[in-house]
């Protein structure tokens, strides 16, 4: 199944996205991580499109949504995704996000919960969870360091940390090399800026929180169990034999986990769709 390519003109950027699938389940929107593109989700397309309408996209400043002629911000990217949903007539969707894509998806949950049926977050920090003093200091240090860090070294380190599969590492290197340095710095800094602890806040939607067994990026190993305890409908799973891009390192486990999660919450059938989709 080959998704259909579409474009949407947005302030400062033409957004490229793809649609496909014809299943009866809730629509699924797949958002990639920082410096990557929609091809992140190639191992998921056939499995998900068999039961769901799917939307993949290149976030502004990434992939085919280059060039980006305005200052990059997570808020602008969030508004882009909402505009895509409006363009496609999708009232509510399951948001699946890897790393940056998970942060972006959480912001939509926080600001526009009525647009979301469920959240699947892979290898990303909890935007609204509390931060320790050490974590705040580390985050501030990353923001200060990024503009001065050698671009080539940053790309090489990202590729090594992202996956165990050599082919996936090469994909990361190739995709990251296409990004402009200003966008790369802005995107990575925005992930720190996305962290805004909200005492007393809880997500009341079904959530599947996943991290790779060998993912050494971020604080996911310690934060995701906290996230799971905070939210009443959250479930935390570890993807075996996988690093940060666990959906590519171990697609069989990832795909099965997501589809079972959606079935358990009635989101794989018309009765559980909770959306208003125009063909």
Q: Residue 209's pLDDT is what? A: 98
Mean pLDDT for the stretch of residues 126-136: 88
| Contact in structure between 245 and 168 (CB atoms under 8 Å) | yes
Q: Which domains does the chain have, with CATH numbers?
A: 4-272 (3.40.50.1820)
Angle between helices 133-145 and 181-193 (to 10 degrees): 170
3-class DSSP state of 95: strand
Residue 192 CA to residue 103 CA, distance in Å, equals 10
Mean pLDDT for the stretch of residues 256-270: 93
pLDDT digits 0-9 by tens, 200-211: 999 999 999 999
pLDDT digits 0-9 by tens, 68-96: 999 899 999 999 999 999 999 999 999 99
Angle between helices 251-264 and 42-49 (to 10 degrees): 40
| Cα separation values, 180 from 31, 103, 107, 262, Å | 20, 21, 24, 37
Kindly tell me the number of DSSP H helices and DSSP E strands found in the chain: 10, 8
| Contact in structure between 20 and 45 (CB atoms under 8 Å) | yes
Q: Residue 271's pLDDT is what? A: 56
For 35, which DSSP code? T
- Name the pTM for this structure: 0.94
Which H or E run includes 176? helix 166-176
pLDDT digits 0-9 by tens, 18-40: 999 987 899 999 999 999 999 99
Mean pLDDT of the chain, nearest integer: 92
């Amino acid at each position: 199944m080959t998704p259909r390519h579409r474009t949407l003109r947005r302030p400062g950027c033409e957004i490229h996205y793809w649609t496909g699938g014809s299943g009866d389940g809730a629509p699924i929107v797949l958002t990639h991580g920082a410096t990557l593109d929609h091809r992140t989700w190639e191992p998921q397309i056939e499995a998900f499109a068999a039961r769901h309408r799917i939307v993949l996209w290149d976030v502004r400043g990434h992939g085919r949504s280059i060039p980006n002629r305005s200052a990059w911000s997570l808020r602008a990217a969030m508004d882009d995704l909402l505009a895509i949903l409006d363009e496609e007539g999708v009232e509510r969707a399951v948001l699946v996000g890897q790393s940056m894509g998970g942060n972006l998806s959480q912001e939509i949950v926080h600001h526009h919960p009525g647009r979301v049926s469920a959240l699947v977050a892979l290898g990303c920090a909890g935007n609204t969870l509390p931060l320790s003093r050490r974590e705040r200091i580390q985050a501030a240090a990353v923001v200060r360091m990024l503009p001065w860090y050698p671009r080539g070294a940053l790309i090489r380190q990202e590729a090594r940390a992202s996956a165990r599969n050599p082919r996936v590492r090469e994909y990361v290197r190739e995709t990251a090399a296409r990004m402009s340095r200003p966008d790369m710095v802005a995107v990575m800094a925005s992930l720190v800026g996305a962290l805004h602890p909200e005492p007393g806040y809880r997500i009341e939607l079904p959530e599947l929180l996943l991290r790779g067994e060998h993912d050494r990026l971020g604080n996911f190993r310690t934060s995701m169990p906290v996230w799971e305890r905070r939210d009443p409908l959250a479930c935390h799973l570890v993807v075996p034999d996988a690093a940060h891009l666990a959906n590519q390192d171990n697609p069989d486990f990832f795909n099965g986990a997501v589809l079972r999660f959606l079935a358990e919450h009635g989101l794989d059938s018309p009765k559980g769709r909770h959306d208003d989709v125009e063909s």
